[in-house]
Each structure stands twice: as C-alpha cells, then as structure tokens.
C-alpha cells in the first residue's frame, strides 16, 4: 500500500513510517501520556511495527501521531493519538483524522473502536459515537501494566 503524504501548512501529514521520528513518539507515549506511561521501548517498537500509523511532522520533529491496530479488512482500534502540547490548537489532530478516515480500506472497515478520556468531540467529528450496545462490550484492563518508577526500582 502506497504511503500518503499531505502538506498541511508547514506540517507533513504522513503514513510513511520511514519519515516518522519514533524517538519523539516513544518519548510522548512513555512519559507524557496518561495511558501508556512507562511503556518499555521494546513494547513500543513492536506496537509501532504492527500497526498502521499516521503522523504529523515539522521537519524532523514528530509533533503528532496516531495508530490503527487493524486487520485491514474488518476491524480497527484507534490508539495512541496525540499532538505535542505546543502544537495543539492548529487543527493537526483534525487533519490527521480526516486523512486517516478518507483512506479507501479504512472506509470499508465494519467496526472501529477507541477509548478516550477527553477527546470525544474530535472523534465525533469523524463519525465515532457511543456504542449502541454497551452491554455487549467487555474488556480486560490493566492500566498499570508498565508500573511506575517507584515500583520498578
């Protein structure tokens, strides 16, 4: 599948993993995010390699990122969406979602899911809504699986 590269002002929105700065992505996810703090680098590398990713680049700097965990045919889970704080408010996450959800194979997926604490409005703009059948959705949640620095010593 051919990578997508779209200019958005000074930013490059890309699905080309070779253009992404994985050090910037790993740093944000493992130190700033509330959902994957303390994630080991090896875990990040495996997740990155096995997902469809989209990023926002300003030169060599990764300023935004998202990934779809998917089988490319029927299902995807949207995860790890972020924009570095100093770049927020410019429409970067919105354009990343628009580019992602305009991809032909993504439009053909039967189901997409995500979990969010505070970005419901962003995701509603691209078609997400509360589940029609929340009683059918189950999970195993291990929010502290990576531990924290105090318990790792």
Give me the domains of the chain, ranges plus CATH numbers.
5-152 (3.40.630.30)
Q: Evaluate whether 56 touches 101 at the Cβ level (below 8 Å).
A: no
pLDDT digit string (tens) for the chain, length 153 residues: 899 999 999 999 999 999 999 999 999 999 999 899 999 999 999 999 999 999 999 999 999 999 999 999 999 999 999 999 999 999 999 999 999 999 999 999 999 999 998 889 888 988 999 999 989 999 888 888 898 644 433
CA distance 87 to 8: 13
Strand 52-58 with 11-14, pairing: antiparallel
Exposed/middle/buried for residue 140 (C-beta within 10 Å: 0-12, 13-18, 19+): exposed
Scanning the structure block, which residue is given the tokens 């924009």? 83
Question: Which two tokens mark 52?
Answer: 């469809």
Question: Which two tokens mark 146?
Answer: 């990576």
CA 72 to chain centre: 16
Using only C-alpha atoms, the chain has a radius of gyration, in whole angstroms, of 16
């Amino acid at each position: 599948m051919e990578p997508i590269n779209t200019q958005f002002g000074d930013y490059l929105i890309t699905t080309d993993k070779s253009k992404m700065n994985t050090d910037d992505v790993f740093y944000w996810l493992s130190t700033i995010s509330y959902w994957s703090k303390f994630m080991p680098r090896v875990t990040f590398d495996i997740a990155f390699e096995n997902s469809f990713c989209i990023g926002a680049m300003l030169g060599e700097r990764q300023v935004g990122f998202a990934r779809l965990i998917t089988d490319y045919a029927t299902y995807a889970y949207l995860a790890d969406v972020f924009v570095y704080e100093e770049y927020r408010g410019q429409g970067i996450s919105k354009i990343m979602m628009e580019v992602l959800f305009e991809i032909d194979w993504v439009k053909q997926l039967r189901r997409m899911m995500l979990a969010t604490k505070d970005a419901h409005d962003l995701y509603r703009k691209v078609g997400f809504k509360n589940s029609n059948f929340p009683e059918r959705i189950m999970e195993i949640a291990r929010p502290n699986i990576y531990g924290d620095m105090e318990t790792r010593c």
